[in-house]
Structure 1
Amino acid sequence: MSTAGLVLGPADLRAAADRIASHVLRTPLLPGPPTTGSGTSLLLKAEHLQVGGSFKTRGAANAVLALGADRVVTGSSGNHGIALARLARTLGIRLTVVLAAGAAPAKAAAIRALGAETIGVGGGVAEREERARALALETDAAFIPSSDHPLVVAGQGTAGAEILADAPDTETLYVPTGGGGLLAGVCLAAAHHPVRVVGVEPAATPRYARSLAAGRPVRLPPSTTVADGLRGQYPGAVPYPVIRDRVDDLIAVGDAEILAAAALLRRYGVDAEPSGAVALAGALRAGRRERAVAVVSGGNTPARLHALTSTRAERLDRADGHLTGAAQ
């Protein structure tokens, strides 16, 4: 799909919400920890309770259902691949997931347990995406990237729309930022709302902060971070202009801050993977007295993935059924 001259808007989010309604959960807002010494607390958008364990199911479902392809190729750090693999199994789609060096083995195992094929490549996210695009062309498959696609961005934006519908007085939204699909989607949801939108990046991969400072997309070298889902090396063609025109701030957080935020979430009963704790780390670093929401973007921890894959993919449906009950 060409993205030249593409303009996404609220109508795309509404269409996405209608399209994916039967495949995703409307996740709750949970009480979170204080962010300042005064005791000011924030809410947590509980996407760790989402079907497939992360917000990625929203964008994956919107793209798969809209495109109607019978064969799909993607590049993923793990959660997008898991989301697509669940959908592919349900819809009878053949799926191949290209994984870069450093991808979490437990996530790769979960993708295979769901019936998808995985292919490993050397290098970083950029090399992964290049191989996935080439493979899609070679096999006449639909290429559905993890963030750089209008249907994916619109699907991810439904999380932001839910937040603003459930907590319209929110002053600031903290959003974990890797490829930028979720941040761009939230920016779309907040297009006509006075809420501040803050993207939070791992300090090792501040690709959006550097790109906005340079006034153009900047490509970074491969990097390592405990937030394995946020290792994107460059802004996507679809998310970049949306983020450029709407984001209010970008914050970088180090691995120690991310791990501390994940530990804090566990004390509040939220079992998030490091990538899912990045937004909270940003809110803690900001330390503002405000009505805020941080997106807990994923809960595919090693323990959860091991529990799921140890009994094969058949048990995933039972696990999500339990999460559905918890979220309602």
Structure 2
Amino acid sequence: MIPLSRSNEVQQLTYDDIKAATDRITGHVRPVAVAPVDPETVHTALTDRLGAPDGRSEAPCGELWFALEFLQHTGSFKARGAQNFIQAHREAKTLPDAGVTIASGGNAGLACAWAARQQGVRATVFLPTVAPAVKVAKLRELGADVRVVGAEYAEALEACTEFAATTGALASHAYDHPLIAAGAGTLLEEIHTRIPGLDTVVVSVGGGGLFAGVATAALHHGIRTVAVEPENCRALNAAVEAGRPVDVPVDSVAIDSLGARRATALALHAARQEGVHSVLVPDSEIVRARQTLWDHHRVAVEHAASTALAALTAPAPHGYRPSGDEKIAVVLCGANTDPSDLAPALTNRS
């Protein structure tokens, strides 16, 4: 059983943790929608821009699905972990009068504020200056006390930690808590049910909460996990390389959601499991993948979400190369974005 408070001794999740989270949050979050995609559509979009990648003339995989988790409450998968965290503390009667507090690039803060409001609990959210204005505005709509501190997530986290210590507020975390990761892992449980015979799930990685939960559930079901990071926000990839969590510089178009300096011990443990692949993609391919989602599917997502798709569309030596008959689900994890920069692609066709 996962303890309610974080502990340095808790460095792995179990499938039982995912199942407990599933039981806890069912009926409180939106079940994930999945959509089949013609792999040839993605291949055509890529060749239109770059020519045939790696000399391939065929579609990138046998069967491709999108997991539309951006339709989740507050626009991202983070609602799952936040709901699990708040519900667990509500059950244990450990929600303090000072409420909950969290540091976030935006999405985790939104989820925490939403879950807290459902339980009638105050939420104080610390954000770095890179947090998009659309996320700040939505946080205030949810009734959160929003505090913008520092240029990076790590600085906002430091301020949040001090706030919790001085006020007695319950400190949640954007990704580094087993209850948060277990809640995120419920997404794979639903995907597995909706896509029989799934071979591979592709997911973008920041600090590693979503990845740790998804990979833990995927291992149980014999599903491969592809963990995708921007080249210059490679906390998990660097941890795997070093054999321990290490600090990395962060600089990417997806920094607001994937800009963690260090991956969690939970994520590193999950990355060492059988069937996990860690890959990196350049920002240029993240931007192209996001534009492809809009041009061909009219889906407007964050750069963090398109990072996962970029693993399939980026030319070698980047990304992930599936077998021709592989059944793949790409998690589109969030859509808290300003879509105005996608409009020129539509205008050019008028």
**TM-score scaled by structure 2?**
0.82
The residue matched to 1:229 in structure 2 has which SS? helix
| Paired amino acid for 2:224 | R
Aligned partner (choices 8, 15, 27) of residue 10 of structure 1: 15
Structure 1 position 19 matched with structure 2 position 24: yes
The residue matched to 1:270 in structure 2 has which SS? coil
Task: Give the structure 2 partner of residue 73 of structure 1.
Answer: 101
| Paired amino acid for 1:277 | S
| Paired amino acid for 2:159 | R
Structure 1 position 274 matched with structure 2 position 279: no
- In structure 1, the gaps of 5 or more residues are 305-328
Cα deviations by residue, 1:34-80 (Å, 9 ceiling, x for unpaired): 25542334101110111111101000100011112241010111111
Q: 2:13, 2:251 → 1: CA distance?
A: 30
The residue matched to 1:250 in structure 2 has which SS? strand
Moved more, 67-76 or 37-46: 37-46
Q: 2:241, 2:30 → 1: CA distance?
A: 36
Q: 1:116, 1:165 → 2: CA distance?
A: 35
Task: Give the structure 2 partner of residue 301 of structure 1.
Answer: 337
Greater Cα radius of gyration, structure 1 or 2? 2
The residue matched to 2:160 in structure 1 has which SS? helix
TM superposition shift of 1:130: 1.9
Root mean square deviation of aligned Cα: 1.8
Q: 2:274, 2:107 → 1: CA distance?
A: 26
TM superposition shift of 1:303: 5.0
TM superposition shift of 1:93: 0.8
CA contact (8 A) 1:262 1:272 kept: yes
Q: 1:33, 1:117 → 2: CA distance?
A: 44
Runs of 4+ displaced beyond 4 Å: none
- In structure 2, the gaps of 5 or more residues are 44-56, 315-319, 341-350
Within 5 Å, give how 1:136-155 maps onto structure 2.
Answer: 136-155=164-183
Question: Percent of counterpart pairs with the same letter?
Answer: 36
| Paired amino acid for 2:334 | G
| Paired amino acid for 1:54 | S
TM superposition shift of 1:215: 0.9
Structure 1 position 108 matched with structure 2 position 128: no
Structure 1 position 42 matched with structure 2 position 64: yes
Aligned partner (choices 287, 290, 314) of residue 262 of structure 1: 290
Q: 1:127, 1:240 → 2: CA distance?
A: 23
Structure 1 position 291 matched with structure 2 position 291: no
CA contact (8 A) 1:157 1:186 kept: yes
Within 5 Å, give how 1:218-237 maps onto structure 2.
Answer: 218-237=246-265
Q: 2:117, 2:88 → 1: CA distance?
A: 17
Equivalenced residues, count: 304
Q: 1:177, 1:42 → 2: CA distance?
A: 20
TM superposition shift of 1:246: 4.6
Indicate how the Cα distance of structure 1 residues 127 and 27 shifts in structure 2: closer, same or farther if over 3 A, else same.
same
Q: 2:321, 2:38 → 1: CA distance?
A: 12
Q: 1:154, 1:60 → 2: CA distance?
A: 10
Task: Give the structure 2 partner of residue 187 of structure 1.
Answer: 215
